[in-house]
Homo-oligomer: A and B are copies of this chain.
Amino acid sequence: MTNSLANPVAESFQGINPTTGQPLPGIFEEATASEVAQACERAAEAFSEYRKKSGAEKARFLEQIATEIEALGDELLTRAQAESGLPLARLTGERGRTTGQLRMFAEYLREGSWVDARIDTALPDRQPLPRPDLRQMLRPLGPVGVFGASNFPLAFSVAGGDTASALAAGCPVVVKGHPAHPGTSQLVGDAISRAVVACGLPVGTFSLVQGRTVAVGMAIVEHSAIKAVGFTGSFRGGKALFDAAARRPEPIPVYAEMGSTNPVFFLPQLLKEKGETLAQSFVGSLTLGVGQFCTNPGLAVVEQSPEADTFMQTAAQFVTNSQPATMLTQGIQRAFTEGISKLTSAEGVDVLGQATSTESFANGTPTLLKTSAESLLANPVLAEEVFGPSSVLVEATSREQLLAVARGLEGHLTATVWGTDAELPEYADLLEILEQKVGRLLINGFPTGVEVSHAMQHGGPYPATTDSRSTSVGTNAILRFARPVCYQNFPDALLPDELKAANPLHIWRLVDGKRVNG
């Protein structure tokens, strides 16, 4: 909870530079059970006030957070680079994404229609029974627990999309910082706390707790004051939180984004026309950010053909010529290496291309594997995510076998089909199958860019996430932390502004079934 330069005690830890393996300055204490409880209780106290803030007031707060993060200047980027091994240019972009999404939610709150206000006016003369005046809008759920992700130390971490959308909804937030970047977390957490003070909000509106143990996170999820949880990370981690939340005396929703393999299908005609260019772009996507994206294309499917061979060989060449690079942590690098070993030792899997590995603390070596559709169908483990710069190329002997691979897929965040304008309609059945497996379906693109916008859906059927109805990116992320409340027969003066007869906020509403903003 505190960042002290005193001697480390048993329950403290330091950040590790994954490029050098050396510990970084700053000692971080593992939050105690009572510190976690205090953060949750303060969040509950803060909720009674923060929930009543207007859209404009919450917007100012989110903008102030963005301003405070920018005010950290290079110190934040330098620390994030030291803790994550990510390049400065990437982190600069990620900071822009972070402040950008805070400001996007601010704008969304000022516009205000997100509350889905619905009004059914009274029908006092209706027979056989009158209809009362009914007015409904979304209201905040309560304090939210947020778990920072390792792979986006800014945009999916302490002030990331989960925090931004929960605060936008009117929910106080208790963040568990990711132990891979405690210094970055502390800097951002302190920036948010300054924004809380600057905006005159209750202190419990935001808290950061730090820790390496599972216990700290579990204590948040199990605390009765917490009403929802946002998480981005591994399947094992997300599922453990989901199970703990379901076991509570009062079960709560857990929005865990647990990653996926993001299958990409390359159709035959397009491979004929530009297979080599595609191979290069594909390898660019799978090695982007050392493969450390939830949307990394970890599975690619082609139909057997001379052009598919050329595509695979070209991709193999690009992977072989690529460079190993520092992964986020040594633990992640080890899991990646073990994942590759597990795949290569499986029946029917060959290494098609691999970069030359280098001696280092945490380098990930880009690797391209190949297997047959038959082997994959016999052993679905081959389609499971290996987090890092690798992909499995799957060769189908026929169109039907390619469809069988699609049918056999579990839930993923994304799926992609590459094809010519002429052949795409011929694969409408493939698109239909894939649509039922994913949150986002792409044509002729790579899944690794996740736009922060109104129409983005970053989610997908289990096991990609624990709740396919939700997104963790884009304006709809706010819906995770709100629930509808209906006000029946309220005097106008006692209604929230969003529901008052005069519509003082000029938001879009559904009035007697008609959408109006008057």
Chain A count of residues within 8 A CB distance of the other chain: 77
B457 and A136 within 8 A (CB): yes
Q: Which A425-456 residues have C-beta < 8 A from chain B?
A: 425, 428, 431-432, 435-436, 438-445, 449, 451, 453-456
A443 and B494 within 8 A (CB): yes
State the Cβ distance, A415 to closest chain B Cβ, in Å: 10
State the Cβ distance, A445 to closest chain B Cβ, in Å: 5
List B contacts of A9 (CB < 8 A).
none
B440 and A489 within 8 A (CB): no
Q: How far is the CA of A517 from the CA of B436 in the complex (A)?
A: 27
Give the number of copies in the complex: 2
Assess whether A132 is interfacial by the CB under 8 Å rule. yes
List B contacts of A485 (CB < 8 A).
435, 438-441, 457
Q: Which A485-518 residues have C-beta < 8 A from chain B?
A: 485-491, 493-494, 508, 510, 512-513, 515, 517
Interface string of A280-294 (1 = CB under 8 A from B): 000000000000000
State the Cβ distance, A411 to closest chain B Cβ, in Å: 8
The residue on B at minimum CB distance from A111 is B513
Stretch of A354-362, A368-376, A392-400, A463-471 contacting B (4+ beta carbons < 8 Å)? A463-471
List B contacts of A428 (CB < 8 A).
494
Assess whether A317 is interfacial by the CB under 8 Å rule. no
List B contacts of A440 (CB < 8 A).
485-488
Partner of A484, one of B134, B459, B462, B512: B459
The residue on B at minimum CB distance from A137 is B455
Q: How far is the CA of A118 from the CA of B477 in the complex (A)?
A: 14
Assess whether A476 is interfacial by the CB under 8 Å rule. yes
A462 and B494 within 8 A (CB): no
Q: Could you tell me which A residues sit within 8 Å of B by CB distance?
A: 48, 51-52, 93, 111, 113, 118-120, 128-129, 131-132, 134-136, 139, 141-142, 242-243, 246, 250-251, 253, 411, 421, 424-425, 428, 431-432, 435-436, 438-445, 449, 451, 453-457, 459, 461-463, 466-469, 471, 476, 482-491, 493-494, 508, 510, 512-513, 515, 517
- Further 5 A-B residue pairs, CB within 8 A, beyond A119-B455, A120-B454: A132-B451, A431-B494, A439-B486, A440-B486, A457-B485
